[in-house]
Each structure stands twice: as C-alpha cells, then as structure tokens.
Amino acid sequence: MKTFRAHLFSFVLLVLFASAAAVQPASAQKKGQSPQVHHQKIAPGKDCSSCHKKTYAEWKAGPHGANDVQCTVCHGEVAGSVTNKPSLSVCETCHAELVAQLKSDSFMSEKGKTCVTCHPPHALKPHQKVASGGK
C-alpha cells in the first residue's frame, strides 16, 4: 500500500510540474507582444521577401524600408525566435521620443494601445497636421 501511495504521489507531482511548465511561457509573455515562435530556416539565397511578398512590399514602400531597417530589427533573428507583434520597447530603441509621447497620452496608454493599434506596422505613414478648427 505504501508503494502505491508513493507512486500515486509521484504521478500527481509529475502532472503538476508538467502543467506548470506548459502554462508558464504563456503567462510570462509581455503585454502587447505576441508569442515568440520558431521560424523555419531560410534557405540560402532567400530572405523574408521570398515568402512574405505582400508584407515585404508594404515595408519597402514605407519609411522603415526606405531607411533599410531590416525585418530582424523589429521581429528578431530567424535563428532564434521571431515575434509577429513586437512590444513597444522594441519601437522605443529608435523612436524614444514618439514612444514617450504615446505613453504620456492617457487615452492610448490606459487602453494598452500602441502605434500599430491604428497604423499598419509595415506601411507607417506620418500623422497629417490638422488645420486648427478642422476635423
């Protein structure tokens, strides 16, 4: 009977540890950042544009493409893990002033909004100045 209890206790403990390990990565994600995913290896002579043609075209036409800010700057290295939706801290590395402005806006920060909540991330366009009294 003692060995049965010992085996049962060991089994329950193992299940609890396995459950905790499975739940931990999801709970450890930063708010506003999509999960890290392992990307397939990119074959020699190919790059992000080989598979992500539409996204690459949007990026190329936008300010990040015009300034040759490569995909890996925001999304991470393919050899490691890639994020689909980078956190605001990634934007802050180059756009500290704009991120500070966004964080100081209570409407945006309290609702967890970021620039890409409203603006397509690969085709960012600067805000248009609105004439006083205009909409």
Domain segments of the chain as ranges: 31-118
Tens digit of each residue's pLDDT (9 = 90 or more) over 41-68: 878 888 889 999 999 999 999 889 999 9
Maximum CA extent, the chain:
83
pTM of the model: 0.58
Helix residue ranges, H only, 44-123: 53-61, 63-66, 71-75, 88-92, 96-104, 106-110, 115-118
Which residues on neighbouring strands pair with residue 37, listed in sequence order? 82
Confidence at residue 15, expressed as pLDDT on a 0 to 100 scale: 60
Name the percent of the chain lying above pLDDT 70: 69
Judge whether 115 and 91 are in contact, CB under 8 Å: yes
